[in-house]
Amino acid sequence: MNPLGTLDELPRDYVEELTRANLVPLWPSMRALLPPQAPRSATLPAHWRWTAIRPLLLRAGELTPMEKAERRVLVLANPGRGLDNLQASAAIYLGMQLVLPGETAPSHRHTPNAARVVVEGEGAVTLVDGESCAMEPGDLILTPTGQWHEHRHVGRVPVIWLDVLDLPLMVYLDVSYAVEGTSQTAQAPAYSYAAGGLAPVAHGRRAQGPYPLLRYEWRRTREALQALASSTEPGTPVQVAYVNPETGGDCLNTLAFAALLLRPGEEVVIPRDSAARVFHAVEGDGEAQVNDTAIAFEHADTFCAPGLATVRLANRSSRAPLYLVSADESPLQRKLGVYEQR
């Protein structure tokens, strides 16, 4: 096929006329928009070290009071997408958030879907439409689109968590906004899903909302991974998905979450698919190979793999298991009909 013409080949006066009419020729840009065989991604393999993040975040707590920050967050930005764009991938935003003892992050709701993975601390709760969700290390807590939420901290040590949002998607679609609210009245969950396969029934029906489970306790997730590991062949990923317990579908509309276990000394290959993915080390240290990029990560580190990347994970400890939580863009891509595995 003959190469497409370039903009420089066109007469200057013709290009100027196009510009005045708000017109752009497609052919010089067509290969960038529709590359052959596979997409091109601006998302790069990236690694954010906890040892670098934590002191800078704690210093932010000294420099900026909550009333000025509302949400005291350091954004984990992918350099391939430009640091000013606040993106970890095309659809995923990541941020490390800090709440100090005695602080309250005020109530609001917004269009982006959000989830939090607790990194350290105790004594904090997230209220989601009034439901009080305790925040313990490793927990995954949902604040889906449109639901009121706030954070309260009555403990004695700082609490830090990793925010995961589909904010870049909402910004791109021109639908991103927030509404400030008043402080909520805390209430315990009406019921909880204490065991898989058991759905509470009240007055002949189950939960009324689309998100019947907001807090996924790490203790239970860890136990599920350990049980699955006992019947999984070595070298095969030991992985559980965070799902809506009433539908079996993804726990959020646009982002999927999973937890992984690597046994001591184990190495696994993650199935190659079109969804960009981020990983967070909940327990243990390890190594990742994302395409040609080697990443040696430690506890509480976070790293990113672009779509269609080859990802190898290794637990280099001979004694302790490695636990990771991941988030990816697959629900969004499935809704658009473009998700694929290779």
Question: In the chain, what are the domains?
Answer: 46-189+213-336 (2.60.120.10)
- Rg over CA atoms, the chain: 22
Residue 306: pLDDT above 80? Answer: yes
Contacts of 172-180 with C-beta under 8 Å, sequence gap 24+, read 175/111, 176/110, 176/111, 176/112, 177/110, 177/111, 178/108, 178/109, 178/110, 178/111, 179/108, 179/109, 179/110, 180/106, 180/107, 180/108
Local confidence band at 98 (pLDDT 50, 70, 90 cut-offs) = very high
Give the Cα separation of 222 and 278 in Å (integer): 19
H/E run at residue 169: helix 167-172
Query: Rounded mean pLDDT of 237-241?
Result: 96
Q: Which residue has the higher pLDDT, 42 or 1?
A: 42
Give the Cα separation of 139 and 158 in Å (integer): 16
What is the predicted pLDDT for the residue at 208?
Answer: 58
Token pair listed for 223: 């136990």
The percentage of the chain sitting over the pLDDT mark of 90, rounded to a whole number, equals 85
What is the predicted pLDDT for the residue at 4?
Answer: 75
The percentage of the chain sitting over the pLDDT mark of 70, rounded to a whole number, equals 96
What is the predicted pLDDT for the residue at 103?
Answer: 93
Q: Are 44 and 76 in contact (CB under 8 A)?
A: no
Mean pLDDT check: name the lowest of 13-17, 88-92, 146-150, 204-208: 204-208
Query: Rounded mean pLDDT of 245-256?
Result: 94
Residue 207: pLDDT above 60? Answer: no
Q: Are 65 and 103 in contact (CB under 8 A)?
A: no
In 3D, which of 81, 97, 145 has the Cα closest to residue 304? 81
Report the predicted TM-score, pTM, of the whole model to 2 decimal places: 0.94
Q: Are 335 and 311 in contact (CB under 8 A)?
A: no
Residue 279: pLDDT above 80? Answer: yes
What is the predicted pLDDT for the residue at 278?
Answer: 98
The single-letter DSSP state of residue 33 is H
Give the Cα separation of 275 and 298 in Å (integer): 24
Q: Are 239 and 227 in contact (CB under 8 A)?
A: no
Residue 3: pLDDT above 80? Answer: no
Local confidence band at 188 (pLDDT 50, 70, 90 cut-offs) = confident
Report in angstroms the alpha-carbon separations of 207 from 47, 185, 188, 213, 251. Answer: 39, 20, 15, 9, 15
What is the predicted pLDDT for the residue at 206?
Answer: 53
Give the Cα separation of 190 and 172 in Å (integer): 36
What is the predicted pLDDT for the residue at 9?
Answer: 92
What is the predicted pLDDT for the residue at 189?
Answer: 76
Give the Cα separation of 56 and 48 in Å (integer): 13
| DSSP β-bridge partners for residue 127 | 132, 150
Local confidence band at 113 (pLDDT 50, 70, 90 cut-offs) = very high
